[in-house]
Amino acid sequence: MSSGRHFLQIPGPTNVPDRVLRAISYPTIDHRGPEFARLGREAVDSLKTVVRTESDAVIYPSSGTGAWEAALVNTLSPGDQVLMFETGHFGTLWAGVARELGIEVSFVPGDWRSGVDPAVVEERLRADGDHRIKAVAVVHNETSTGVTSRVPEVRAAMDRAGHPALLLVDTISSLGSVDYRHDEWGVDVTVGCSQKGLMLPPGLSFNAISAKALRASRTAGLRRSYWNWEPMLEANTGGFFPYTPATNLLYGLREAVEMLHEEGLDSVFARHRRHAEAARTAAASWGLDVLCRVPEEHSPVLTAVMMPEGHDADELRAAILEHFDISLGAGLSKLSGRVFRIGHLGHFNDPALLGTLGGIEAGLRLAKVPYSPGVAAAAEYLADTAGMRR
C-alpha cells in the first residue's frame, strides 16, 4: 500500500473531480419519473453547450467506441465508402470498426506524427466524381500520438471540393479540453465520451447530429437497434431515454459541465494549451523529442515523448509507476516502447503538472536515461505565464 493520491496522468480516463465523484454517488432515481425528466433534459442540454451545437445530441450508456459505431450505423449503408486517416492507433481502430460493420474504408496512410492533411482530403474528394464516399471521418485529437488535426481546414477542403460527404469527427480526447465547434465548423456527427476533458468516469458516449446527418439516418441501411438515433431523440424530447440510462453518470455530467462553465470554456482551453507548452518545455530541457512533428498540431491534452535509442519507454513507465505513483500512457501498437504519453488534461493544475514532470525527471534518473534537468524550466514557464492561467 502506498501513501498519497495517485497521479493519473494518462490521456484519459482523467482525474475525476471530487464534485463529480460525489455527484455520481447520489442515490439512483426512477428513470421514468418527473425528477429524472429534469435531469435528462439538463444532461443533454449541458452536453450541447460543450459540443457547441444547437442541433441534436444523444447520450449513450457505453464507451466512446460505441459512439464511433453509432455515428456509422446511423448514417451509412452496407457497402458505402468512408474516407478515414491513419493518424495513429485510434484512427486505425475506427477504420476497423467501420470494416466490421460492412463499410468500405478508403484509408489514407500516415506517419503517426502529424494530423489529417486537408490537401489530401480535397484531392481524394475531387477524385471521387460519382460521390461513392459518403463520409469523411476525422479524429480531432489523436490520443495515441498527441497530434490535433485541424478540423476547420478539413471542412474547408471538403467545401472546396464541393463534395456532399458527411463530416464525422471523433472528439473523444478533445471535447472539453480543446476548442471545438460542431455547428460553426460544419460537422455532421460528433463522437465524444465522458472520461477525458469532461472529467467523468468512463461509461457515457455522445453523438451530436447535424440536420444533414439526421436526414441521412432516415435512409441509412445499416441494421441498428441499441444505437438508433430515432427512438433516442424521440424519448429525449420528454427528458427520457428509450432504455434505462446510466443515471448516476448523468448526475456527474451535469456537474462536470457546470464546472467547465464556472471556469469558462475559453479559460479551460487556454489552461490546456499552457500546460501542454510547459510539458514541451520540460521535454526540450530533458533533451527528448516530442512525437508530433507539426508545430500547429501539438495537442493541448497530451504530450507523447520519444525515448532515446536503447531505452524502453515501458520500463521507464513501470519504474515511475512503482516508485513515484504516477500513471503515464504507453506507446500503442507500433509506438510500443518508443514513447510515453503525458496526459495533462481534465481536472488539473500547475502543481499537479510540476509533480508529474518532477516524477518523470526522477524516473529518468532512476532508469538511467540520459537527461538534463527540465522541471525547473517548466516551473519558470508557469511562473512567467501565471497571469494567463485563466
User: Contact at 8 Å (CB) between 93 and 69?
Assistant: no
For 286, the grid coordinates are: 530533458
Member of 79, 108, 201, 276 binding a copy of itself (CB under 8 A): 201
Residue 191 sits in the site that holds a copy of itself (CB under 8 A):
no
Residue 349 sits in the site that holds a copy of itself (CB under 8 A):
yes
Q: What stretches of 301-354 adopt beta strand conformation (E)?
A: 302-306, 326-330, 339-343
User: Contact at 8 Å (CB) between 383 and 350?
Assistant: no
SS3 at position 295: helix
Which residue stretch of 81-89, 107-115, 122-130, 358-366 sits at the interface with a copy of itself (rule: CB under 8 A)? 358-366
Member of 108, 222, 306, 307 binding a copy of itself (CB under 8 A): 222
Which of the residues 52 through 71 are near a copy of itself (CB under 8 A)? 60-66, 69
In whole angstroms, the minimum distance from the beta carbon of 91 to a copy of itself comes to: 15
In whole angstroms, the minimum distance from the beta carbon of 297 to a copy of itself comes to: 24
Member of 115, 146, 192, 245 binding a copy of itself (CB under 8 A): 245
Q: How far is CA 100 from CA 79, 82, 95, 325, in A?
A: 11, 13, 9, 38
Q: ∠179-274-320 over CA atoms, to 5°?
A: 110
Separation between Cα atoms, residue 154 and residue 157, nearest integer Å: 5
Which of the residues 31 through 50 are near a copy of itself (CB under 8 A)? 31-34
In whole angstroms, the minimum distance from the beta carbon of 310 to a copy of itself comes to: 19
- Please, which residue, 155 or 344, has the CB nearer to a copy of itself? 344
In whole angstroms, the minimum distance from the beta carbon of 43 to a copy of itself comes to: 14
Member of 56, 279, 348, 369 binding a copy of itself (CB under 8 A): 348
- Please, which residue, 164 or 351, has the CB nearer to a copy of itself? 351
Separation between Cα atoms, residue 119 and residue 102, nearest integer Å: 28
- Please, which residue, 32 or 131, has the CB nearer to a copy of itself? 32
Separation between Cα atoms, residue 115 and residue 293, nearest integer Å: 10
Separation between Cα atoms, residue 260 and residue 308, nearest integer Å: 38
Residue 174 sits in the site that holds a copy of itself (CB under 8 A):
no
In whole angstroms, the minimum distance from the beta carbon of 221 to a copy of itself comes to: 11
Closest to 62 in 3D by CA, of 248, 246, 255, 230: 246
In whole angstroms, the minimum distance from the beta carbon of 379 to a copy of itself comes to: 4
Member of 42, 86, 128, 228 binding a copy of itself (CB under 8 A): 228
Residue 359 sits in the site that holds a copy of itself (CB under 8 A):
yes
Residue 101 sits in the site that holds a copy of itself (CB under 8 A):
yes
- Please, which residue, 219 or 225, has the CB nearer to a copy of itself? 225
Residue 366 sits in the site that holds a copy of itself (CB under 8 A):
yes
Distance, CA of 276 to chain centre:
15
In whole angstroms, the minimum distance from the beta carbon of 36 to a copy of itself comes to: 10
Q: How far is CA 117 from CA 110, 141, 157, 179, in A?
A: 9, 14, 10, 19
- Please, which residue, 97 or 290, has the CB nearer to a copy of itself? 97
Which of the residues 272 through 331 are near a copy of itself (CB under 8 A)? 321, 323-327, 330
CB-count burial class (<10 Å; 0-12, 13-18, 19+) for 119: exposed
Which of the residues 135 through 154 are near a copy of itself (CB under 8 A)? none
Which residue stretch of 30-38, 109-117, 129-137, 293-301 sits at the interface with a copy of itself (rule: CB under 8 A)? 30-38
In whole angstroms, the minimum distance from the beta carbon of 368 to a copy of itself comes to: 10
Q: Binding residues for a copy of itself, how many (CB under 8 A)? A: 103
The string over 332-357, giving b where at least 16 C-beta atoms fall within 10 Å of a residue's C-beta and e elsewhere, is: beebeebbbbbbbbbbbebebbbbbb
What residues have CB less than 8 Å from 362, skipping those under 6 apart? Answer: 320, 323, 324
